[in-house]
Chain A
């Protein structure tokens, strides 16, 4: 696990969210909901394998940090695949949606703050079940890795305090 370096650094920030978690809790109860969260953490930790880390849990979502964009992208793709595979095997009840952005972040204790974090959160809000949405900055960071043809344009969105539009792309799977 990489240590958080105080000051400004470039990183990939990822937000995940479980689709329909509130309704699932209503129907199946708190105990089942906690089991889902534990299972999600386990699936994510298995894929992180020291290449990134969980910054914090946000209800049924997670905030992840990666020091390297392309590495983070690979890990996030694996997280998405592992959740989908677990769903196909009826071992996980809910779909996950994921948003990712790369840019400058400021370490604050064990957390990160800054517009990169805000943008990544907004990107995740716009993702659908089983989707990975990324910003154009993520796609550019993958240039040369042959990944660009894997994306479909989604459109621009705006984030408060960020003047330029944030162009989004969906990983086509």
Chain B
């Protein structure tokens, strides 16, 4: 089907685009009050380079200051092997690693410290753009595919297609030791049990079209337990490309990911992104392509033909609509034309 220029213009004017690839995305790694950066602004990092030290067991500790002693500035690094000099001939030593919080008016120096620091590594190659008390930010030298939400820890691995299709599901039985180190593409849905198995098998991350919110809640609770443990294990990330519930991965994204199978990729949590290498081949969908993002036909794709008379809904409330030639299903010889609410479409090109 050839879409006329006027139709393409109408599509741009009437239908919101699905967010496309982002060049050199900026990734943020939030820091806690006791966490300690291990990089400086402008520093180049590669996958696996240490970014910061996380103190998962941080708690408040305090030491007494004498009257007239100048307390160290808030945020000063604390190390059990290096005493803090606070006056000539006097220093204080906290029993752990962390950072100074503040000095109370009653001359107590409080710090956030823990005894079991964990090193958090960069999942991407790039340049450290910002180091602040709140976060380390890295400009990744690659392409970012935006998702809707992400959870877990930023992770990197080789891309592996693990579901039968973009609207399929990842079965627990399809994950084995050979999946260790991989980031799996899981189709339209994944459940908590399968996520647990994937983590246990050494999988580094899962990319999925949709996720039930109860499974997300379970995953976050499991993550919190992992982080609180003395040895947090390997980072594991979950990237949801579309939204809550069962939602197929857009076909064009699925095909591109399939073509990249085996390539090194990373999942960023903040923002939710799949980071690909800068030279990754990524075919853009042809012009006029749309995807149905809500309703009974969720996930179906097709070609936008042009605006249509509005659809009348409840008690005469009219919704702007467009005509779409849906791609033929496996058991169809040709596509079918449907009139659909414009608000339920997303532009793919």
Q: Are A and B part of the same complex?
A: no
Please report A residues at the B interface, Cβ cutoff 8 Å: none
Please report B residues at the A interface, Cβ cutoff 8 Å: none
